Amino acid sequence: MSLLFAPLTLRGTTVRNRAWLSPMCQYSAVDGVPNDWHLVHLGARAAGGFGLVLTEATAVTADGRISPQDTGLWNDQQTAAWARITDVIHARGAVAGVQLAHAGRKASTFRPFHEGHGSVPVPDGGWGTVAPSGVEFPGYEAPRELSDDEVAAIPATFAAAARRALDAGFDVAEVHAAHGYLLHQFLSPLSNHRTDRWGGSPENRVRLLHQVVDAVRAVWPDERPVVVRLSATDWTEGGLTVDDVAEVARGLAARGVDLVDVSTGGNVPAQIPVGPGYQVPAARRIREVSGLPVSAVGLISAATQAEQVLVEGSADAVMIARAALRDPSWALHAAAELGVTLPTLEHVGADARVAPGQPTGWPVQYERAVRS
């Protein structure tokens, strides 16, 4: 039996396997509205066997986008566009997850498509950014420090986006508190220099994340999971450590969080020892301390490597990122490599639709390529 292809149930939601598509920005939306690119990109990975298909960082407000081309969930047009995409994901048997985000001081930046680097000027479609403190990310424009009332209003924006995500048909809500974006900025002493109730002590710096999670959990159905992505370390002296973030995760367990998506870095430039599975030890530590299920991500590219992460107890699921960009059917190829036989979609009807959470193999339309 393969652990990678064993189902995982969180609350009342069962994911057909533990090979999950990691959130990856596509920088291809207009006014926050996902389009045919997003439908094909995410739909292909659902057809390619991934159990949970997560969107890119989807902004809860217009000024929370990483770039002007990011997707969002702050209006009805965006909600309707996402509903079309979740229908396609569900039709292929996958579970649809949305990553809710606010970029904070790392917002309003050029997308990485030969358009430059750093902050987009306001005349060119950019906007002023906000942060816990008026400290810029190197190379970006300095942000404006949020007032106490402005910080207190942020959880409601995440809750409103979560309601729209529910209307759009998403099954899993992930709160993005990693990679140097707004919630991570509040968590880290490197970017949070406040002396009020939102800064200083670890208890104050985690306050906003707790309130965001509480607000999302309050509007998200009990049977559907809430996930939080955390950067387990800032990789910089004086910043967050794995043990710091493990305690953050422990606190989330009591607030209705069902899984921690463990990544690292992103809040400040750092020397990171990148290599295959380099973030897996952090995932294992957070799993041990918090008692929560975790996912691991970071240069996990081979089926046997992903399987070993699960067998050794370092994680409960693996997020596949760059390997999934190279191969939309990475999960189905992994099943074959591990000797797992999955039913083709012809066994569930001519329309090739299955209930989310049901194991499926190659779409019947592609079966002759598998047999040859």
Q: Check which CATH number belongs to the domain holding 118 and give it.
A: 3.20.20.70
Q: Are 101 and 60 in contact, with CB atoms under 8 Å apart?
A: yes
What residues have CB less than 8 Å from 81, skipping those under 6 apart? 33, 34, 35
Is 69 among the domain residues?
Answer: yes
Number of domains composing the chain:
1
358 by Cβ neighbours in 10 Å (0-12 / 13-18 / 19+) ranks as: middle
Q: What is the largest CA-CA distance in the chain?
A: 66
Lookup result for tokens 């001519």: 350
Residue 211 lies in a domain: yes
Domain assignment present for 2: no
- Please check whether residue 95 lies inside any domain of the structure: yes
Any domain includes 1: no
**Residue 308 located in a structural domain:** yes
Q: Is residue 103 part of a domain?
A: yes
- Domain hosting residue 271, numbered range: 8-371
- List 27, 140, 181, 278, catalytic entry: 181
DSSP codes of every residue in 245-279:
HHHHHHHHHTTT--EEEEE---SS-------TTTT
Active site residue 140: no
Q: What is the pLDDT along the chain (372 residues), one digit of tens a residue?
A: 899 999 999 999 999 999 999 999 999 999 999 999 999 999 999 999 999 999 999 999 999 999 999 999 999 999 999 999 999 999 999 999 999 999 999 999 999 987 789 999 999 999 999 999 999 999 999 999 999 999 999 999 999 999 999 999 999 999 999 999 999 999 999 999 999 999 999 999 999 999 999 999 999 999 999 999 999 999 999 999 999 999 999 999 999 999 999 999 999 999 999 999 999 999 999 999 999 999 999 999 999 999 999 999 999 999 999 999 999 999 999 999 999 988 765 544 445 567 777 777 888 778 777 765
| Residue at 265 is within a domain | yes
